[in-house]
Chain A
């Protein structure tokens, strides 16, 4: 039986190697969809066109996510930036890389109090910021009207080594914080070393052990308070779900699970146990990413229900609505805002 020529099939020459078999013994392969037609062997071996599970190359595992971003899918869904009051953000791009941002925030901020009452102090401030984003160098600076300054620098020293600096400076003495991080990305591992003020030293390491599973650990030491801790973490992810677990000697156990139901919907849940304060919290949330809006909501075992809506009204104008109802403390926070620019 002559093989169909590539001219007849109208596709690449590799397709010619997969003949539809005339014999009744082997079932005819389904027509190739997507990338399947580029794989000559699979359509020959398996009649159902699905392809055998690819053989794992243990020396060529993918690079894992950074240790700090282990739970990033869960955090994106379950910890949106809820706010109270009015918020107006304006980002002006002067250049492809350089942008200035102006922000007005008017609302109440909570003051920590000893009693169970919630004390709120009305506050209003304006924040000015400048961003410079280059593939190799990123500089972000923000300054508030009360003198607080937030600076972030990220510099790629080589292809694999990056330096990150994060500083929060205030006018009050002894309240400023600074952190230096050296980040090394290997073939299938990542390691990080950080130095902070108050003699803080930390390091973490994460390694891919299979195409879906990565394990990591971290260790830190605070000099001024003579505290140290070790933690371990594991992350298992497939295309549809991400499950993570974290344990630390500071007495924290955290588990999270995110399931992607479709391109637009994902559901997440989170469990956190703090042994020092005997605090157990479980959160369930959803994340709808639709064409014009993004809606994230969650419900908590502390009796907190919250939601954040970001709706794109027009090109570059986004409306924000945030609500947080705390049934246990009878503390409700509602906020609305507008973001102009990217």
Chain B
């Protein structure tokens, strides 16, 4: 008898959760995506910002030469 009751309770709990989980999952999905996007942006900025500045600088007028990037003079 006890096992039957427990099964019934489980069934009810699952049914109650059904319609709620859809709403929660959209909010959670949006949060997950923004967190994933921010993490990727952080890694990209960390490694790519200075190469980006150098690229923009080397293409600005008047164009500096490549050796000027490395030599101390």
Which residues of A does B touch, CB under 8 Å?
A: 90, 92, 94-98, 100, 128-132, 134, 139-141, 143, 149, 151, 167, 169, 176, 178
Contacts and interface: CB of A to CB of B under 8 A. Distances in A.
A126 B20 CA distance: 54
B16 interface: no
Nearest to B64: A94
A96 B64 CA distance: 10
Q: What are the 8 tightest A-B residue pairs by CB atom distance, in nearest-first order?
A: A98-B57, A94-B64, A130-B53, A141-B50, A169-B46, A139-B53, A151-B49, A132-B57
Interface residues of B, number: 17
B46 A98 contact: no
A141 B49 contact: yes
A102 B50 CA distance: 13
B45 interface: yes
Contacts of A149: 45-46, 49-50
B72 interface: yes
Given A94-B57, A97-B60, 8 more contacts: A95-B62, A97-B57, A98-B60, A130-B50, A149-B45, A169-B42, A169-B46, A176-B42
Contacts of B69: 94, 100
A32 B45 CA distance: 60
Interface string B52-70: 1110111010101000110
Interface on chain B toward A: helix, strand, loop, or mixed SS? helix
B53 A131 contact: yes
A9 to B, nearest CB: 48
A141 B53 contact: yes
A134 B49 CA distance: 17
B45 A132 contact: no
A95 B42 contact: no
Given A100-B69, A130-B57, A95 B49 contact: no
Nearest to B39: A173
Given A94-B64, A94-B68, A95-B64, A132 B53 contact: yes
9 contacts: A90-B72, A95-B62, A129-B50, A130-B53, A130-B57, A139-B49, A141-B53, A149-B49, A169-B42
